[in-house]
Structure 1
């Protein structure tokens, strides 16, 4: 409690201050004020006069549509600062000017200041399309929401106006620096936003991933724990959620380290956003964080679709192995982008074309980008993608360009973050343009099992592919007579003479690309077919020649990558000691003849067992082009008889599988139980 003399002194001081304020002439009433120049501040004009202790402002805005206008003296060019600053907002409908505290970027975050004593309003008017208000304040900050004014030092002056009745979101805003003592207008400082931080964090993360990948690929090629061991064991039977169970059972330890680095990147980005915007409300902060998490996902998801051998150099893998990360990141983007959109829509019109917030984003462009990417995500659902693959593929092509363009227009942060991914994608795309010069005329053959044989004419290029491509490599194929735009991946098979590449493609559904090729070949028997070839791509997860034995499990047309491996072995058999054990199951005996010219006779070092699962009984045989009869067993292979440790005692064994998911899954499960290295050859469209 204050003693009585102290109370009397405080009352006296307040009385004297009030009396001084009443007796001190108003700065705004000075004759010098009217002759001060009016300075253009955006669409406003501002006139000021400074005395030793006070300053007067006259603000005018000529606009037939403006409903309110505002002026703020701020510690920075940001609307939201720490601590919060205030603004004088003139409401034309009420013809009043009041102090408002700026706590958030939405109109709900702008509240009337409880203490209005720091503002002395001298005049307000709204007539003939001109909004005008004049006010006076002290140079010393009259409240915690005000800033001190030094007439000799430029002051941040923020302005805004709205064409809808207050309270509403501004139509336009801006910031300048004005030396209030001299009336000198300075260049405005840029908004303190989180523009480049996310890009820098993402770049550092990717650089670390690449460094670890180079070490594991080149210095640690023998690190089985990193390169072969999976995080979770595979399941023997089909799991309820295969898109989850298969993904985690295929995830190698090395890949898991990459995922951990990505998660750390997301956490770092979230922390950086929180540090940059410490006073943001919970919803605003969540909107910012989710937006930047979506941006990180967008940065990284573009990289896996950049096809090229650079992935083999850096990570020892290939495009089809890392495309799963593209799918995962797409789901992350969809969730984060949806959260960002919903939270943003609570405070701003998402169809607005005005710059919004400290990030200076254009909401409409972000909304268009979201619609483009989100619709891509919906079409990427497994059932839709597989059933309507052509629709998915072409829509993906068009919508991705639209989404990227509008995402770049949405925010500077996106522009900075997407520089590296777009450069990588652009360079690899330019490199792939040479594909259009890899044109071959070949005479295809149609087999009764809905299979088409395409063999490229031997040339220097095909011989080079044989020498330099990886085993089980695949090529993207385009056949202009069937479709000018469609490209599909198929395993390339080294021909038995080692001079060219052949393809065996099988139609699985009416109306599909291969079905159209098959029908065209049947209708134009003996006619040459133009084939465009993009490749080679792909690298097996195991180096087959580092094993004593390799078990090859194939189902149906899944024989094609195994054929490539066998024919490569045919060329290298004097120098290679690896033994190959092929187990191939088909639905009909005629299916064995679809590749007879590529498979038979079997080279030394290859033992093959064939199965026909046509529901019949008893083993039988089929005659091949050489006149020889090839025996086959009825039913499916019993894999535990062939993938076990007793059969390969103290041998280093690798297993490769390609075919129906259940066959591949069982081969993977048994390989894991035997601690055999495993490679899955699957084209998942």
Structure 2
């Protein structure tokens, strides 16, 4: 062992730990500030213009002949450099083999690579050749990265508690770290094989115990990387999932290969084991299903008893062990809450999810529900809730929720929560809510039609000069519009955002979006285009990218 190379890995892992601590301090300070601000009852001024609901303009009480018109404040609240920085950092580009990434994410990835390169090129020890030391340095830096790869894959993520980043947003970082480990170990293994090669490949790979265990450890991580390709993740999820457990052999063989192996991985691996045990305990008990219904156009609605608290927009993993055994014994699937937590008491007793037919599991569930589940009740289990919106929607006066197809589920959960808080007269900043749903036809509207009508009816009782709920349904394959809330074709998100900004004047606007990838990109670009000194559009994208 070269002490300089071991130190490089050690100090790199300490650098990562220092970054985590710094981010945690910043996040926790912000959380304390938000908690203090939430205890203050917000001022609810009049909306810019009083709307006509009965075909007449509301009149000033003091002077009934004078129509009331409140002009929105359009003064600048942001500096020009801040606006350009916001646009630059949130600009989205397509990266080959990675997908859409914002400039902020790209810069973060570049910083991560720079840290690895710096520690890789630190001065070598004088008593070793450059190639040999570089090979060992790659191995120790791979271990420094491996110390964090396990916590990045945990659902009960410690990073969520430390700086508010949930599991589904850490998966991309998990992939970055995993691939970096693979590339570093590939160089290390290649050099060691070349160095050990005398007469045959088998001798270079298995000639000594160190080489043998090292090769088997590398083979384990090679299987993980190979089966983690996006094509296999989406088309052969079970192969991807089970092959990932090759990490067990990676840890075993790696520890036999090098005694310092477990020193680096111990803490991260321990957090992973705790997460698995916690998830086992959470998902072990059965959940009481209140009702299941096969709705039009291939959507299954499940209403169940759920006494734990959850936040709007969160998701969970569900399991029906006796749906189609033995596969369903261990098959867990992510799905968003379509209900919202009650704001009237300390917990909720009932919750709901809506699952659209998109694969074998969801189709089997839909078919089973159509046939009637009374004769053969399904065993329902839940692992969750998980997730956290990147935006605190309650802290914005204007909120825009955009969804495509079944992507409505997390957005309607957020919508329900905001309206509930308004109707309950709770301290909430949000006054105006714009809800935009893009669907093929009116058949899809039946998934949540009754829910939307109920929310509109409840919002009718709110003071119209204080609160606004505007729902628009866009039908992409229909030539008719049943009512005034329906529109033909696809929306122009830039035009919609410009109209909202002009109506409300100065003030940042929160945007939540869930739907196809092309929709997410369109909304992001529209938000960047519409942001200026009077208003910044803050976008939260909801996606389940495996």
TM-score, normalization by structure 1: 0.62
Could you tell me which of 274, 280, 283 is aligned with 2:131? Answer: 283
The alpha-carbon deviation at position 214 of structure 1 amounts to 1.6
The residue aligned with 1:210 is 20
- More deviation in 280-289 or 581-590? 280-289
Local SS of the residue matching 1:679: strand
The alpha-carbon deviation at position 202 of structure 1 amounts to 4.2
2:494 is equivalent to residue 494 of structure 1: no
The alpha-carbon deviation at position 432 of structure 1 amounts to 1.8
The residue aligned with 1:464 is 308
Contact in 1 for aligned 2:5/2:136 (Cα 8 Å)? no
The alpha-carbon deviation at position 192 of structure 1 amounts to 6.0
Distance in 2, matches of 1:402 and 1:523, equals 44
Contact in 2 for aligned 1:495/1:598 (Cα 8 Å)? no
The residue aligned with 2:115 is 264
The alpha-carbon deviation at position 293 of structure 1 amounts to 2.8
CA distance 1:445–1:532, shift in 2 (3 Å): same
Distance in 2, matches of 1:663 and 1:540, equals 18
2:482 is equivalent to residue 620 of structure 1: yes
2:429 is equivalent to residue 585 of structure 1: no
CA distance 1:591–1:242, shift in 2 (3 Å): farther
CA distance 1:533–1:312, shift in 2 (3 Å): same
2:192 is equivalent to residue 344 of structure 1: yes
- More deviation in 369-378 or 659-668? 369-378
The alpha-carbon deviation at position 661 of structure 1 amounts to 0.6
Could you tell me which of 493, 496, 500 is aligned with 1:639? Answer: 493
Could you tell me which of 460, 466, 474 is aligned with 1:611? Answer: 474
Contact in 2 for aligned 1:230/1:252 (Cα 8 Å)? no
CA distance 1:400–1:521, shift in 2 (3 Å): farther
The alpha-carbon deviation at position 471 of structure 1 amounts to 2.5
2:421 is equivalent to residue 565 of structure 1: no
Could you tell me which of 200, 213, 234 is aligned with 2:91? Answer: 234
- Higher relative contact order, chain-length normalized (CA < 8 Å, sep 6+): 2
Distance in 1, matches of 2:402 and 2:97, equals 22
Distance in 2, matches of 1:609 and 1:230, equals 27
| Deviation string, structure 1 residues 27-70 (Cα, Å, up to 9, x no partner) | xxxxxxxxxxxxxxxxxxxxxxxxxxxxxxxxxxxxxxxxxxxx
Contact in 1 for aligned 2:511/2:538 (Cα 8 Å)? yes
Could you tell me which of 502, 514, 519 is aligned with 1:658? Answer: 514
Contact in 2 for aligned 1:658/1:681 (Cα 8 Å)? yes
Distance in 2, matches of 1:261 and 1:424, equals 22
Could you tell me which of 315, 319, 323 is aligned with 1:478? Answer: 319
CA distance 1:607–1:350, shift in 2 (3 Å): farther
Distance in 1, matches of 2:157 and 2:4, equals 34
Distance in 1, matches of 2:2 and 2:525, equals 54
The residue aligned with 2:101 is 247
2:414 is equivalent to residue 552 of structure 1: no
CA distance 1:493–1:334, shift in 2 (3 Å): same
Equivalent positions of 1:588-603 (< 5 A) are 588-602=441-455, 603=458
Local SS of the residue matching 1:678: strand
CA distance 1:192–1:286, shift in 2 (3 Å): closer
Equivalent positions of 1:100-119 (< 5 A) are none
- More deviation in 262-271 or 443-452? 262-271
| Deviation string, structure 1 residues 106-133 (Cα, Å, up to 9, x no partner) | xxxxxxxxxxxxxxxxxxxxxxxxxxxx
The residue aligned with 1:91 is none
Distance in 2, matches of 1:552 and 1:587, equals 18
The alpha-carbon deviation at position 266 of structure 1 amounts to 5.4
CA distance 1:346–1:519, shift in 2 (3 Å): same
CA distance 1:577–1:389, shift in 2 (3 Å): same
Contact in 2 for aligned 1:209/1:261 (Cα 8 Å)? no
Distance in 2, matches of 1:484 and 1:260, equals 42
2:295 is equivalent to residue 447 of structure 1: yes
| Deviation string, structure 1 residues 315-356 (Cα, Å, up to 9, x no partner) | 12211111110111122122222222211110124433635x
The alpha-carbon deviation at position 481 of structure 1 amounts to 1.6
Local SS of the residue matching 2:249: helix
Distance in 2, matches of 1:302 and 1:481, equals 31
2:240 is equivalent to residue 392 of structure 1: yes
TM-score, normalization by structure 2: 0.77
Q: Which has the higher helix share?
A: 2
Contact in 1 for aligned 2:9/2:141 (Cα 8 Å)? no
Local SS of the residue matching 1:655: strand
The alpha-carbon deviation at position 386 of structure 1 amounts to 0.8
Contact in 2 for aligned 1:504/1:595 (Cα 8 Å)? no
The residue aligned with 2:7 is 197
| Deviation string, structure 1 residues 379-399 (Cα, Å, up to 9, x no partner) | 211122111112211222x32
Distance in 2, matches of 1:306 and 1:270, equals 31
| Deviation string, structure 1 residues 270-300 (Cα, Å, up to 9, x no partner) | 527x23xx33223322321222232233222
Distance in 2, matches of 1:259 and 1:438, equals 44
The residue aligned with 2:357 is 507
2:542 is equivalent to residue 681 of structure 1: yes
Distance in 2, matches of 1:328 and 1:243, equals 12
- More deviation in 471-480 or 429-438? 429-438
Equivalent positions of 1:220-231 (< 5 A) are 220=30, 229=86
CA distance 1:474–1:297, shift in 2 (3 Å): same
Unpaired runs of 5+ residues, structure 2, are 35-77, 197-202, 343-347, 460-467
2:277 is equivalent to residue 430 of structure 1: yes
Tell me the number of residue pairs that the alignment of Structure 1 and Structure 2 aligns.
460
Local SS of the residue matching 2:287: strand
- Find the structure with the greater CA-based Rg: 1
CA distance 1:194–1:402, shift in 2 (3 Å): farther
Local SS of the residue matching 2:510: strand
CA distance 1:212–1:193, shift in 2 (3 Å): closer
RMSD after superposition: 2.9
